[in-house]
Amino acid sequence: MRNKEVANKLYELASLAELAGENPFKINAYIEAARRIENLPIPIEELAKEGKLTEIKGVGSGIAKKIKQFLETGTIEKLEEFKKKVPPSLLELEKIPGIGPKAALSLYKHLGIKTVEELKEAAEKGKIRDLPGFGPKKEENILKALQGMKKKEEKRVSIGLALPLAEFIKDEIKKKAPVDKIEICGSIRRMKETIGDIDILVTSRESEKVMEVFSNLPVVKEVLVRGETKTSVITEEDIQVDVRVVEPEFFGAAIQYFTGSKQHNVKLRELAIKKGLKINEYGIFKGEKRMGGEKEEDVYSLLGLPWIPPEMREDRGEIEEAIRGELPKLIDYKDIKGDTHVHTEYSDGVDSIEKMAEEAIKMGYEYIVISDHAESLGVASGMSIKKFKKQKKEIDKLNEKFGDKFRIFFSVELNILSDGSVDFPEEELDIFDFCIAGIHSGFNQSMEKITNRIKRAMGIKKVKIIAHPTGRIIGERGEYKVDIEEIFKEAKNTGVFLEINATPSRLDLSDLNVMHAKSLYGLKFTIGTDAHAAVSLRDMRYGIGVARRGWLTKEDIINTLPLKKFEKIMKKS
DNA sequence: GCCGTTTTCGGCCCGACTGTTTTCAGTCG
Ligand SMILES: Nc1nc2c(ncn2[C@H]2C[C@H](O)[C@@H](COP(=O)(O)OP(=O)(O)OP(=O)(O)O)O2)c(=O)[nH]1
Ligand SMILES: [Mg+2]
Ligand SMILES: [Mg+2]
Ligand SMILES: [Zn+2]
């Protein structure tokens, strides 16, 4: 599947076109096409072969030709032309805050600056300030940025890091400033797996005081911009935080705006125009008249749409579905009845079985699946059958104690070994209620090998769940080479469930994975936290976020089932 | 460069902040 590759090429084309001063709408068309291709569930090569490229939204004859060119020759003529016109290294300059395509080009045209090093030298010599459109302030800002190595590099962080920090900052502001309402917005509210920055909306009649408090929070390392309604800072953790303050009556329109995504907002605003309306962060207007905007729902209802859940707001077709009145009823954060992937101190977890169970009960669960590592995973204190038997005794005892109020399922996280076998022979697996299997070694094998390993494991009777099917660790390593399409097919054939691993550094399967697996194969999934400590059971929300972003309903997730039904399905042979 | 269920041409979201400017362009959200 070369979709990502093609999309990146189009993004590159867009950046260079922008630098070269192309028509902004054309640039937007490149970006829009790239975005659509990224979201595509099927390989673009196949569409190209069948001459169906223009069936992709945002791809017309011009871009289709470029895609074909790229697939056949590895590059695009137009892109090479741009590269001759403007040095691609200028894109590096755009990573400095405050420098965009216009400034980068001007630096090149007037001073011949092509690289960050050359820029630094020129700034130090005071050459920048005399350029048209530049001045002493801009020169100083460039120098400051370069000295602090401050770059707007795509340094996205895991939502597992960003969400708790956002909650902390929100509480701090709430405690110290005259706040009416305060909400976390942006990609965090949409539960995206990685977060570019933290966005917080505040309603207050005293924006000056709110900004003063926010700018002076102890976590704030530096204030980037400070205005009456918008302030941006960098925290000690080097994460940007944007705070937007509006008066209380604008809350609805403002939270709609600040939640995004950008593409969703643009689509919505275009729809408004077609209906003779205008949307901004202050409301939805007909001429001068404000028709609504106190509540978020207003913005949608005045367009004749139902409220769209934030996790769906990615312009992946949700507005069209809303127009048709066919939005799915997403799984709710309260629908989960149990956690299907949990470790204890028996292997590499830190808490006891009982402690994990008690925490699960606190969360309102009816059951939990204990799935410690099997012996081949030495680094994670993988266990022998003998040790599992001992663990079973403890679980039996606890189950007796809990009675019918709560159930601990006895499972194991088997390792899918290099040849596709697992730690124990099949007959030994009968002690478990059911088994989970996952790849923890041999990541570098060929796609065919890895795919076959997983398929073989799926053929084992007791195996009911494949853990973290793609093996990616966000920000660390990509997916191992696996034909995920094949795995989806096999899951459909065998009835084995694929996991949404809710550990924030995994989130595997991903939102797009499950969206495609459901729409193409009708698959259902389990959500498991892979918790190694009681507190990590709370990671469930990230897994549910993935499911919601993948448009899944309660019925698509097995562990929304009450205990008896869950048991019946998982123990079915 | 793409799009259209009244358009195949004329639109393509809209506003805040900064630094430059003397009325606004560029950058960013
Ligand atoms: N209408 C409109 N809204 C925008 C635009 N850019 C950003 N927004 C809104 C929607 C975004 O979700 C919100 C916050 O902007 P961010 O740049 O922080 O983006 P977001 O949080 O979605 O993603 P991120 O993870 O931070 O990269 O502001 C824009 O160009 N037009
Ligand atoms: Mg953001
Ligand atoms: Mg932001
Ligand atoms: Zn695990």
Is the CB–ligand 1 distance for residue A197 below 6 Å? yes
Residue type, A471: G
Atom of ligand 1 nearest to the CA of A261: 12
pLDDT of A147 reads: 86
Nearest protein CA to atom 14 of ligand 1, as residue: A186
Is the CB–ligand 1 distance for residue A187 below 6 Å? yes
Closest residue to B12 measured CA to C1′: A25
Is the CB–ligand 1 distance for residue A155 below 6 Å? no
- How many angstroms separate the alpha carbon of residue A233 from the centre of ligand 4? 37
Q: The whole model's pTM is what?
A: 0.96
- How many angstroms separate the alpha carbon of residue A170 from the centre of ligand 1? 19
pLDDT of A148 reads: 76
Q: Write down the H helix ranges in A148-289.
A: 159-176, 186-189, 207-215, 251-259, 262-274
Residue type, A497: F
Nearest protein CA to atom 7 of ligand 1, as residue: A262
Cβ burial A316-349 (10 Å sphere, 16+ → b, else e): bebbebbeeeebbebbeeebbbbbbbbbbbbbeb
Domains defined for chain A, CATH in brackets: 3-151 (1.10.150.110), 157-245 (3.30.460.10), 250-324 (3.30.210.10), 333-572 (3.20.20.140)
Three-state DSSP state, A535: helix
CA of A324 to C1' of B27 (A): 37
d(CA A219, CA A235): 5
Q: In the numeric block, which tokens belong to residue A483? A: 């034909």
- Which nucleotide minimizes the distance between its C1' and the CA of A28? B1
Q: Which one-letter DSSP state was computed for residue A496? A: P
pLDDT of A153 reads: 67
pLDDT of A185 reads: 98
Angle of CA points A368, A380, A501, to nearest 5°? 45
Give A322-385 as a DSSP string: HHHT----BPPTT---EEEEE--TTTT-SS-HHHHHHHHHHTT-SEEEEEEEBTT-GGGT-B-H
- Which nucleotide minimizes the distance between its C1' and the CA of A78? B1
What are the strands, taking DSSP E only, across A103-164?
157-158
Is the CB–ligand 1 distance for residue A310 below 6 Å? no
- How many angstroms separate the alpha carbon of residue A231 from the centre of ligand 2? 13
- How many angstroms separate the alpha carbon of residue A373 from the centre of ligand 4? 7
Placement of tokens 């708790």 in the chain: A164
Half-sphere exposure at residue A154, Cβ-oriented, CA atoms within 13 angstroms: 3
What does each of the 573 residues of chain A score in pLDDT, given as a tens digit? Answer: 899 999 999 999 999 999 999 999 999 999 999 999 999 999 999 999 999 999 999 999 999 999 999 999 999 999 999 999 999 999 999 999 999 999 999 999 999 999 999 999 999 999 999 999 999 999 999 998 888 766 666 689 999 999 999 999 999 999 999 999 999 999 999 999 999 999 999 999 999 999 999 999 999 999 999 999 999 999 999 999 999 999 999 999 999 999 999 999 999 999 999 999 999 999 999 999 999 999 999 999 999 999 999 999 999 999 999 999 999 999 999 999 999 999 999 999 999 999 999 999 999 999 999 999 999 988 889 999 999 999 999 999 999 999 999 999 999 999 999 999 999 999 999 999 999 999 999 999 999 999 999 999 999 999 999 999 999 999 999 999 999 999 999 999 999 999 999 999 999 999 999 999 999 999 999 999 999 999 999 999 999 999 999 999 999 999 999 999 999 999 987
d(CA A373, CA A437): 10
CA of A284 to C1' of B15 (A): 14
CA of A231 to C1' of B17 (A): 9
**Who's near A412: CB < 8 A, 6+ residues apart?**
A371, A372, A373, A374, A383, A388, A429, A432, A435, A436
This model of the complex carries an ipTM of: 0.96
Is the CB–ligand 1 distance for residue A195 below 6 Å? yes
d(CA A44, CA A203): 45
Residue type, A41: P
Placement of tokens 């008066």 in the chain: A247
CA distances from A146 to A90, A106, A141, A143 (A): 15, 18, 9, 5
Beta bridge partners of A280: A283
Q: Which one-letter DSSP state was computed for residue A304? A: T
CA of A268 to C1' of B5 (A): 20
Mutate to test the pocket of ligand 1, among A200, A258, A262 (most ligand atoms within 8 A of CB): A262
Q: With contact defined as beta carbons under 8 Å apart, do A462 and A427 qualify?
A: no
Atom of ligand 1 nearest to the CA of A186: 21
pLDDT of A453 reads: 98
pLDDT of A573 reads: 74
Q: With contact defined as beta carbons under 8 Å apart, do A239 and A165 qualify?
A: yes
pLDDT of A150 reads: 67
pLDDT of A403 reads: 95
Atom of ligand 1 nearest to the CA of A197: 26
- Which nucleotide minimizes the distance between its C1' and the CA of A257? B29
- How many angstroms separate the alpha carbon of residue A261 from the centre of ligand 3? 11
**Who's near A250: CB < 8 A, 6+ residues apart?**
A203, A281, A282, A283, A293, A294
> Which ligand gives the minimal distance to the CA of A315?
1
- How many angstroms separate the alpha carbon of residue A434 from the centre of ligand 4? 15
Nearest protein CA to atom 31 of ligand 1, as residue: A262
Q: Kindly give the pairing relationship between strand A230-235 and strand A220-226.
A: antiparallel
CA of A131 to C1' of B26 (A): 14
Closest residue to B13 measured CA to C1′: A266
C-alpha distance across the termini of chain A, in Å: 35
